Amino acid sequence: MTDLTELTATRLLDGYRKGEFSPEDATRAALDRAERIQPEVNAFVRLLPDEALARARDSAERWRRGEPTGVLDGVPVTVKDIILLRGSPTLKGSRTVVPGGRQDEDAPSVARLREAGAVFIGKTTTPEFGWKGVTDSPAHGVTRNPHDPSRTAGGSSGGAAAAVALGAGPLALGTDGGGSVRIPAAFCGIFALKPTYGRVPLYPASAFGTLAHVGPMTRDAADAALMLDVIGVPDARDWSALDGAPGSFAAALGGGVRGLRVGYSPSLGGQVAVRPAVAAAVRRAVERLAGLGAYVEEADPDFTDPVDAFHTLWFSGAARVTERLGPAQRALLDPGLREIRAAGARMSALNYLAAVDVRMELGRRMGRFHERYDLLVTPTLPITAFEAGAEVPKGSGLRRWTGWTPFTYPFNLTQQPAATVPVGTDGDGLPVGLQIVAARHRDALVLRAAHALYEAGFTAGGS
């Protein structure tokens, strides 16, 4: 028998079309899997079985009539608990958020998924207000890695990544302000895309400003393209949203990489110490891109680590998101979040504008890089998943999560599209991710190159 939890959204839709199984079958399977994994992995804040099964039954009836309401009709989806989902409180991993909360409105991406017939099975875990690159919070505990529960799933969209990796829905909505879809996707062995800023509208606006993107987290690039076609349309509530894309992302997947100019930067010019097993897996995938016809050469983007500027913007956002909390509420915060919010509160407008200057210069340099290269390829992370419940690897000497994510946050500063593709495992069986970056607005090219690697056989298990 077919295990429906192992199928991509594309394959589920094909099965619905052929009458092999129904949206109700797929939703029950996803919910059952979610319930089984929850005690060990802790991917969910809450499951929504009654609502999900009701939507799945309606979808099944539409498919029986041959009248699906949209391109994702009946596909199980999870939503990170920092994104509004009508009828479900958004707690943001914080004990300072009133549980009743706001439940009368969908975020733009959720609204588009609802219109397309998607089935929402639950809300996934996040660190408090999405502030760090791992997923644990005072409100909801530690989210663990599907490949080794003693390790972290990464973050801040860690619950979403774990859910997809373990078959609790093939599609997930995550957010990414410094790597937060790419980090957990890399650690958990799935695909994730941080689209160009504004490609997926965001409402309410993030306290972290224009660093924050909404993106798809999926089993492969084809599912992400299908999802982006649905969620990547304008919404009047986001004044910074882009116009609709000129064509379908899913339809543009098949172009391959032949003739593309790829700059491969294994360590950002020696700035990053990458573990040998990670470097080897990424290099094998880069060699495959060359074998598929891409023109590949080692080339480093012309910038030094912008972490200080990123911290200025990020810590200021942390101060903003916690600004209205009184002393008693602040005492309930994650200790690390308390530290960075205090640092952010001490920063001036001049500090902030100086960081914006760094950001603009970084964007200029990456613009020049992409005059020479269609794509930049790097490791997604220099390491694989470390112990759960810690912000940084034990014994690393690092202070903050940005110390081990130097490949991800620069491209939030520049607002470029960036994806992670699983390209193998290390000696402990933990997934390794490869990052693909393109110039702003070239999301379709990122997806196309990622799809070529999937077509060539790359997965978290190797190639």
Active-site residues, by number, are 80, 156, 180
- How far is residue 156's CA from residue 176's CA, in Å, rounded to a whole number? 8
Q: Which residues contact 149 (CB under 8 A, 6 or more apart)?
A: 40, 41, 388
Q: Which residues contact 327 (CB under 8 A, 6 or more apart)?
A: none
For the residues of 20-85, what is the DSSP string, one character each? SS-HHHHHHHHHHHHHHHHHHH--EEEE-HHHHHHHHHHHHHHHHHT--SSTTTT-EEEEETTS-B
345, 337 contact by CB (below 8 A): no
Query: What dihedral do alpha carbons 339, 413, 136, 450 form, nearest 10°?
Result: -160
173, 180 contact by CB (below 8 A): no
Q: In what order do the strands lie in the sheet with 44-47?
A: 44-47, 119-124, 76-80, 171-176, 213-218, 191-194, 418-425, 431-438, 375-379, 261-264, 295-298
189, 165 contact by CB (below 8 A): yes
> Which 8-state DSSP code applies to residue 424?
E
- How far is residue 414's CA from residue 367's CA, in Å, rounded to a whole number? 9
421 to each of 184, 222, 229, 386, 458, how far by Cα in Å?
A: 12, 12, 19, 19, 8
Q: Which residue is listed with tokens 């924050």?
A: 212
Across the strands, what pairs with 193?
419
CB count in 10 Å sphere of residue 243: 9
